Amino acid sequence: MDWKRAVACLAVMGALSLPAGAQSATTAGTKTPRINQRQKNQQKRMKQGVQSGELTKHETRHLEREQKKIQQDKVAAKSDGTVTPQERAKLTREQNRASRDIYHQKHDAQTQTSTQSK
């Protein structure tokens, strides 16, 4: 897949995850099913990247820290009993960035074997 297609694919994925107005109406309070599902999907993508050798240990640690920060922000957003549309939008932006980071790390020239030989 060339880079233009990859960017277009990511843009479509991001656009599909943006309807925050509809989401907040159906998931009032502290429920975050879309955010939870994206976290699971990103964890699965990272696990696959480690297993295939596409992610190095250093890259994996960086991506895990990024996921931990999103989780902490989600807990903080829920702490007052309501996740506002602004908080949902912030979490979505963080997840979009994390998704791009996973993609870029998996598709860079580094692999577990190339870093082990150095």
Whole-number pLDDT of residue 114: 63
CA distance 61 to 80: 30
Structure tokens at 115: 């870093």
Question: pLDDT tens, 1-58?
Answer: 565 565 555 555 555 555 544 444 444 688 999 999 999 999 999 999 999 999 999 9
Q: Which amino acid is located at 4 in the chain?
A: K
Whole-number pLDDT of residue 3: 52
Rg (CA), the chain: 16
Q: Is 31 helix (H, G, I), strand (E, B) or coil?
A: coil
Question: pLDDT tens, 64-100?
Answer: 999 999 999 999 999 999 999 999 999 999 999 999 9
CA distance 110 to 53: 9
Q: Is 17 helix (H, G, I), strand (E, B) or coil?
A: coil
Structural domain spans, the chain:
34-47+55-109
* pTM, full prediction: 0.70
How does residue 110 score in pLDDT terms, banded at 50, 70 and 90? confident
